[in-house]
């Protein structure tokens, strides 16, 4: 049974409000999206397994703990890239896979155009990152691609989602835990999240 977590941390809420503001420019928007990614990753990785090692401090040898499992970050291009640095700063040993998707503007169907993953997918915890989960089509296709490569521990990291998309993902992939900064009201008639934050890729990269 998958778990849906919506973060109610004041820092995340505050930064998301600034990101939603249409007057927030590209530079601040990109910084905010990255910062939220980092704050979310801190919580999402809380239950990662650790293993005991021996470390020699300047004083003596002691038993200590390090992460026991590899971590792979997989952004859905383009907008997913916006959260990667924030997460990678926390876990610099994480490998990064990429999956390219675009949504047909009329049908809203996703199309995969690129995929490259590290070979450690089956034994890793995989953070699938997409700031915007609207119909859920892009994420569903990306999860299928990850599972095809053997990924078993998949955690979906989103900024803002519509209930319609989350419902589809929960139904199709009950083994994938979902973490969001906010669950918004609905989709509008052209498939945008309401109230949302507009087109995330365009706001990150200045392509509007």
SS3 call for 125: strand
Q: Which of 21, 28, 202, 207 is catalytic?
A: 202
Residue 189-208 contact track with ligand URA, rule CB under 6 A, x = bound: ---xx--x--xxx-------
Q: Is 107 a catalytic residue?
A: yes
Residue 117-156 contact track with ligand URA, rule CB under 6 A, x = bound: ---------------x-x----------------------
Q: Is 17 a catalytic residue?
A: no
The two beta strands, 50-56 and 71-77, are unpaired
Binder of residue 192, out of ligand URA, ligand PRP, none (CB less than 5 to 8 A by kind): ligand URA
Q: Is 199 a catalytic residue?
A: yes
**Residues ≥6 apart with Cβ < 8 Å to 93:** 67, 70, 71
Question: Could you tell me the smallest distance in angstroms from the CB atom of residue 73 to ligand URA?
Answer: 19
Instruction: Provide the b/e sequence for 6-28 (b: ≥16 CB within 10 Å).
Output: ebeeeebeebbebbbeeebeeee
Q: How far apart are CA 34 and CA 181, in angstroms?
A: 12
Q: Is 153 a catalytic residue?
A: no
| Residues that are catalytic | 103, 107, 199, 202
């Amino acid at each position: 049974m998958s778990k849906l977590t919506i973060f109610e941390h004041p820092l995340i809420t505050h930064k998301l409000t600034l990101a939603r503001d249409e007057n927030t420019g590209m530079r601040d928007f990109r910084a905010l999206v990255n910062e939220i990614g980092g704050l979310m990753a801190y919580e999402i990785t809380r239950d990662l397994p650790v293993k005991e090692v021996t470390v020699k401090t300047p004083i003596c040898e002691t038993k200590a703990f390090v992460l026991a499992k590899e971590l792979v970050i997989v952004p859905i291009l383009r907008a997913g890239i916006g959260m990667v640095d924030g997460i990678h700063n926390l876990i610099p040993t994480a490998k990064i896979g990429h999956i390219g998707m675009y949504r047909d503007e009329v049908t809203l169907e996703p199309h995969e155009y690129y995929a490259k993953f590290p070979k450690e997918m089956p034994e890793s915890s995989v953070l699938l990152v997409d700031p915007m989960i609207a119909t859920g089509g892009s994420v569903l296709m990306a999860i299928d691609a990850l599972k095809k490569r053997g990924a078993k521990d998949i955690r979906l990291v989103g900024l803002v989602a519509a209930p319609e998309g989350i419902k589809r993902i929960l139904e199709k992939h009950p083994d994938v835990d979902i973490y969001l900064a906010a669950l918004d009201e609905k989709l509008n008639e052209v498939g945008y999240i309401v109230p949302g934050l507009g087109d995330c890729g365009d706001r990150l990269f200045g392509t509007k």
